[in-house]
Each structure stands twice: as C-alpha cells, then as structure tokens.
Chains A and B, each alone.
Chain A
Amino acid sequence: MKILVTIKQVASLDEDFEMRGDNRDIDPDFLVHDLNEWDNFTLEEAMRLKEGPGGDNIEVVVATVGPDSADEELRKCLAKGADRAIRVWDDALEEADPIAVARVLAALARRESADLVFAGVQASDHAFGATGMAMAGLLDAPHAAVVAALEYTPGEGTATVRRELEGGTYAVVKINTPAVLTLQLGINTPRYASLRGIKQAAARPIEVVGPVDIGLAAGDTGAAGSLSRVRRMYVPEKGRAQMIEGTPAEQASQLAKIIKEFRGEA
C-alpha cells in the first residue's frame, strides 16, 4: 500500500519587503523558506498509519513541485521517516497556478498508484486551499477536505473521516479508497526528526522528474496548464483611517469635530 504526501516549500516575509521587477511577486531576496505548516501534520498522519496496526507494508512517498531549494523540505520529511521523496520540476512550472500544480501531482499520483493521497488544507504563503481538491477532481477520486480526524485500517476499502465545518461543527464521513484527503492542523502531534534521521536524510536520494517523465504534455504544465495568472501583486495604499493625535482632551475634541462634520453640523 502506498500513501502519497504532497508538500510545499512555502515562503514567509519580514515586515519590510520589496516587489519583484515585474510587480507580480515578492523579490526572492526577502523570502525565508520553510515546510508548509500543514504538511507537518499530513506527513505525521501518514507515519501514524505506517507505524500503526497493519502498517508494515505501507510506503510513504513525499512529493513536491518546486525548484532545487525544495529538496530541503523533502529531506525534512525523509528525516521523519518517509520512505521516498520525489520532486517534480521544470522551468516551465515557474508560472504554475494551483490547478497546474494539481495536474502535475495528479499525474504523479497515477504513476505511483497511490492508495491514499494526503495534502494540507492550504499553504501558508498563497493560501489558495485549492491544490488538494483540484488534484482529487483531476484523479476523479473520492475526496474529503479539511479533515480533522482519520480512522483507517490499512488495506480496507473505506475510511472514516471527521470534517471540520463552519461554526465549530463536524461531519463524520465514510469515504471509499483510494481517496484524496486534505488534512487540517491539529489532526495529530507532529514529531521532531531525530538527529540521526536528519543526518541520514542528507545522504538519501531524491528522485527528480520533469512533467514529461510523468506523462504530462507541454500544454498541461506551467502557465499553459493554469486557469489563472497573477497580474499584479501590491501593498494597498493606506485607507482613509486617520490617527488622532494629542492629549485625551484634544483627541476627544477632534473626534467630536469629525463626527459633526460627518453629520453636516460643522
């Protein structure tokens, strides 16, 4: 049995940053990379099944779509016990939107004949929350989003998941497998990799494949396979909010004046 865990190298920002020359993204010099927070939980859930009853034959495969730097995040997963790591990349994928990324991951899931596919509910940087479910659509596989608990006995044809809904409610759903699940934060307690695991992972191979290697045509990848395109990224100008300076008495007087102005009394 095989569980495919799809992960993402995400970027975080400091308070000040600059835009790239084309104003369509942040200047990469200002980005600090890390493993997407949700992906710690998805990997842990796969490891929990692998280490639980009947999990001896489970193979956990982590996969990502990203450049060389994403190897660092794959190695973190290998250090925590993943069996294999695959990175899919081609310069054409640079402009890929979540749907184009989902096409790549779906093709990979087909090639790997994964029995379960785990993805995070969303990535902390772009927060589309779309890749996992788009992948399920492309695979035409049963799926459940925002899964907060999973009960599954390896080898069985169904799994029971508890989905997190609005207003603090949950829905318990029985789902056929193979399935695609997007997992929510808090579904488990992610482990830390052992030092030995980290050192061993540094020497383990990462399979790097291009979209063509997994059966994708040029029209399916990158900008060509995307359904959206970022036109402009910007920091909105400050709104009409106005800081009222002065002592409390002055502030109160100024506030009263503004209210009168709005009422047309001033």
Chain B
Amino acid sequence: MRFSGRHWNELLRRAQEDAEPYAAAALYPHALPAHRACLLPRLFDARQDRLLLASAGFLAPAVLARLATLARDDAAVCLRLARNPAAPAQALVTLWRGGGGERLRLLLARHANMPRGVLAQMAEGTAQVEILRALCENTGTAADVLAALERRHLPVLHRLLAINLATAADTLLSLWTAAVDEPAVRAQVLLHPHCPGRLLEDVPETVLERRCAARHPRAPVALLRQLAADADPTVRRAAAAHAAMPAQALLTLCFDADAGVRRAVAGRADLSARMAGWLQEDTDSWVRRTVARNAACPPALLAIAAADAHAEVRRAAARHPACPAAVLERLGADPEDWVQAGVAYRDELAPPLLRRLARSASVDVLAGVARNAATLPAQLSRLAAHESPDVRRAVILNRAAPRGVLLALRQDGYALHRAMVLDHPNFTDADRWRMRDDPDAQVRFRIFSHFARLAGVPAAAHTEAPPRAEQSAPLMTMETL
C-alpha cells in the first residue's frame, strides 16, 4: 500500500470527527503546522478531553507540551501533567514557570524528565524537606546537586542519597562517615555501583550491610569467601549468587543447610556438571527445578529431572534450552498439562509431537502450540478461532503466523487482540488501513499513530525538548532553556 496525501487527509478528517481525542493526538506530532491547527480544537477545546490527555502516559511529547502551554491556568490539568511520566521537559518547565501550589512543585521535583538545570535551581531555592526528598529520589538529579544536598546534613535524606544511582563516590563516602548508627544508609552505600572500593574490603557489622556487600559486583574475593561462611543465611544466599564467588566456596554452599542458598547456587550461569549432579538430588524441589532450568545443567541430567515427582521440576526440564528430543517426547506425554505446555513452547519439536500436543484440550498446552513457530497454518487457523482468549492471543504472539490467519483475528471481539495484531510483522499496511474505523479508541490510536509515523512530518522537526545530555550542562538555566 502506498500512503498518499489522500490517506493523510482522511485520517485528519476522521481524527477531527472522532468521539475521543486520542486519534487527533496520534496525528498531532507528525502533522504540518496548518494541520496541527486543525487538530487543536478536537484535542483541547473540551476540559474533559484536556484532563484525559494530561494523564495519558502514551502520548507523544509534542501533545503534552502543547497542552501544558494551553492549560497552565487549570490546576487540575497541571497536576495530571506533572504526574504523567511521559510529560516532556518543555511541558514541565512551562508548569514550573507557571508557579502552582506545593503539590505541583513536589511532583515536578520528582519527575524524571525535569531538566537537570531546573532541578538544581529547585534544590538551591528550597528548604522544604518533602521537595528535597523528591529531588534525592529523582534519577535525573545531577551528582553535584546530590553532593550539595548531602552537605545540608539532613539525616532524612541520607538513605535516599545513597540509593540514587547518580550519587558520586565522594558523596557516598561522606554519607558512610555520617551514618555511623544507620546500617540502612550504610547498606545502600555498599550496594551502590559507585561505592568506594575501600569500603568493600572489611566485613561489615550488621546483617543488612553484609548482605548488600555480598551483592556488590566489585566485592573482593577475600570478602566473598568470608561472607560465604556468614552465620546469616540471607548473607550466604547473596554471596552464593555472586558471579565472582570462588569455586571452592561454592562447593561448600552447594551443601548449605539453607535451601535458599542452594537455590542460589543452582541458578548460577557457571554451574559445573558435578555440582549440577549433586543439586539434582537435592531434597528441595525448588533447587532441583532451578538446576533443571539452568542452561549450564548438562543435558544428560535432564532425564532424571524429567522423571521427578514434582511437575514443576519436569516442566523446568522441558524448558531447558538443550533438552534432548527423547526427553521432550516423554514430557510431551506427561500427565500434567502444565508440563506438556512447557514442551509446546519449544520451536524445535518433531512434527508428530507438535500434532499430538495440538490435540490437547488444555488451554495452556494449546497456547504453547499456538505460539510455536513450527505449527502449521491450518492448525493456527483453528486455534485463532478458539474460545479461549489466551489461545487466540498466543496466535498473535507467534511471529511466524501467516497473514491469512491474522486476518481472522482482525475481527476478534477482544480489543486488546486487535491492537496487538496491528504490530504483527506479517500484517500489511493495507490490512491496517482497513481497520481505521475500529470501534475501540485504543485500536484507532495505534492505527493512526502507525500511519502518522509513516507519512507525517518527522516529529524531530517539531521537537521542543533538548536531548537529555544537553540538559545536564552545568550552566543550564531557565533562560537557556
């Protein structure tokens, strides 16, 4: 299908006449200025629509930025925009310039898209603890601003500062020094990616700190060895999952009294065949299940897992990426539907086994067959008409489902399915175009967005917000925005 001006004009007309504002919102970011002007009344004339759009997290930044300009005097719209995670920097700055109440300022301080320059000004200009807390929680707050907040010596901010990923190493060190009696703060410092190396050298005092130290990717081997022998099982559990844990310590952890520790070992990507064998005989079914699902588990051990008394262990064997065909054949005839379903999701199944699974009455098994790339089109056609929405949805999720099968699902009663089928790679633009009068607003929004992207003016021509990297410039002020 070749999208032309005629098609665009039809979308424009439909969007203007649509009962909901979303179709117009889909076109707006890609429309020429004259067409944007045509869409404005449908988008923003009614207050009810302005309120709806302000809290819609799926809208393009251009729509929300425009709304912020038009509705800056409407406190309810401003609050919804400030809470909307999709609100772009420009919209947020407009709201900030407009003043507003305490709640609005708090929401703006918390918003991840707020320009860093503005966040810095907020930090400088307020002593309100709630706003300072919001700034500490904001992932967009720059490291130097966080350092300045730390220098205020407000204990209530310490833990939040230690959690923020942007906090620099020297700030973390200051927090560590200040939080002598605060293991919760120190634990967060130990967990932080910028944690100074020297803090990770000694075994911390509290369980919480030791657990966090055991989770730190740069934890030294000597520390890990000590933590592997810790009296607290939660610490040993964290240590057992650490990628740098020495093999010798792992051998001990393999036979730990705590099942959670053994489970952590069983899930390791570097699990040796010998340890897999031991853990496969573990009394805890969750350990056996974790081993059977682990790609590092030798395929030869899967025959044992396939005969396990617990269905979840057998299913885990069926999901193992290298499960041998003979084991799959056996699990395909398992008395538990849930185990058979695990088999049905595998793409490399022998055709007779797949055909046998397709005869199942279980929705779980049929959903697996419907999702399977090797399922024949005739079989998929049958499953596309299945009464269970889970099975029909699995057909849509099958990237190999042919167009003929998908066309039937275009008429599905479940609007979510119609919205999903639009994104299928085997669906053509002509098919999508025929759905432009779908009764569901969500489906229409997706169709209009698709064609607007294809044919409209590139959104970049109208972007208002500068890239994030530019926002972090230290000299950024309101004027430069």
Contact = CB atoms under 8 A, between A and B. Distances in A.
Interface of A: 14-18, 28-30, 32, 191-199, 202, 245-250
28 contacts: A14-B80, A16-B76, A17-B76, A29-B48, A29-B51, A30-B48, A30-B51, A30-B76, A32-B52, A192-B413, A192-B415, A193-B413, A194-B411, A194-B413, A195-B418, A195-B438, A198-B413, A198-B439, A245-B129, A246-B155, A246-B156, A247-B158, A247-B159, A247-B182, A247-B185, A248-B184, A249-B181, A250-B155
Interface in B147-194: 155-156, 158-159, 179, 181-182, 184-185
A193 B412 CA distance: 9
Chain B CB within 10 A, most for which of A196, A199, A247, A248: A247
A18 B47 CA distance: 12
* B contact residues, range: 20 to 34
Contact of A195 (B51, B80, B83, B439): B439
B389 interface: yes
A44 to B, nearest CB: 13
B150 to A, nearest CB: 14
What 5 A-B pairs come out closest when comparing CB atoms? A192-B413, A194-B413, A247-B155, A29-B48, A195-B411
B182 A29 contact: no
B471 interface: no
A43 to B, nearest CB: 14
Contacts of A247: 155-156, 158-159, 179, 182, 184-185
Contacts of A199: 439
B47 A29 contact: yes
A197 B412 CA distance: 11
Nearest to B181: A249
Nearest to A18: B76
Interface of B: 47-48, 51-52, 55, 76, 79-80, 83, 129, 155-156, 158-159, 179, 181-182, 184-185, 389, 410-415, 418, 438-439
Contacts of B415: 192
A250 B157 CA distance: 13
Contacts of B411: 194-196
Contacts of B156: 245-247, 250
Contacts of A198: 413, 439
Contacts of B80: 14, 16
Q: Is the interface of B mostly helix, strand, loop or mixed?
A: helix
B158 A197 contact: no
Nearest to A250: B155
B389 A192 contact: yes
A14 B80 CA distance: 9
A32 B129 CA distance: 35
Given A14-B80, A17-B76, A192 B414 contact: yes
B471 to A, nearest CB: 28
Given A192-B413, A246-B156, 12 more contacts: A15-B83, A17-B76, A30-B76, A192-B415, A195-B418, A198-B439, A202-B439, A247-B158, A247-B182, A247-B184, A249-B181, A250-B155
Given A192-B389, A248-B182, A197 B155 contact: no
A242 to B, nearest CB: 14
B407 to A, nearest CB: 12
Counting chain B CB atoms within 10 Å of each CB, which of A14, A194, A195, A199 scores highest?
A195
A21 to B, nearest CB: 14
A73 to B, nearest CB: 14
Contacts of B414: 192
A1 to B, nearest CB: 27
B286 to A, nearest CB: 31
A250 B185 CA distance: 13
Nearest to B179: A247
A198 B437 CA distance: 12
Nearest to A197: B413
B180 to A, nearest CB: 10
B430 to A, nearest CB: 18
A12 to B, nearest CB: 12
A245 B132 CA distance: 13
Contacts of A249: 181-182
Contacts of A193: 413
Contacts of A250: 155-156
A159 B389 CA distance: 32
B189 to A, nearest CB: 14
Nearest to A191: B413
Contacts of B155: 246-247, 250
Contacts of A18: 76
Nearest to B83: A15
Contact of A14 (B47, B55, B412): B55
A16 B79 contact: yes
A162 B410 CA distance: 39
Contacts of A16: 76, 79-80
Nearest to B130: A245
A6 B455 CA distance: 46
Contacts of B158: 247
Contacts of B418: 195
Contacts of B439: 195, 198-199, 202
A18 B74 CA distance: 12
Contacts of A30: 48, 51, 76
A14 B51 contact: yes
A30 B50 CA distance: 10
A29 B48 CA distance: 4
Contacts of A32: 52
A197 B48 CA distance: 29
A191 B181 CA distance: 59
A29 B55 CA distance: 14
A194 B413 CA distance: 4
Contacts of B389: 192
Nearest to B55: A14
A17 B389 CA distance: 35
A234 B225 CA distance: 61
A15 B410 CA distance: 35
A35 to B, nearest CB: 14
Given A16-B79, A246-B155, A249-B182, A195 B52 contact: no
Nearest to B437: A199
A250 to B, nearest CB: 6
A228 B412 CA distance: 45
B147 to A, nearest CB: 20
Contacts of A195: 410-413, 418, 438-439
Nearest to A16: B79
A18 B80 CA distance: 13
Contacts of A17: 76
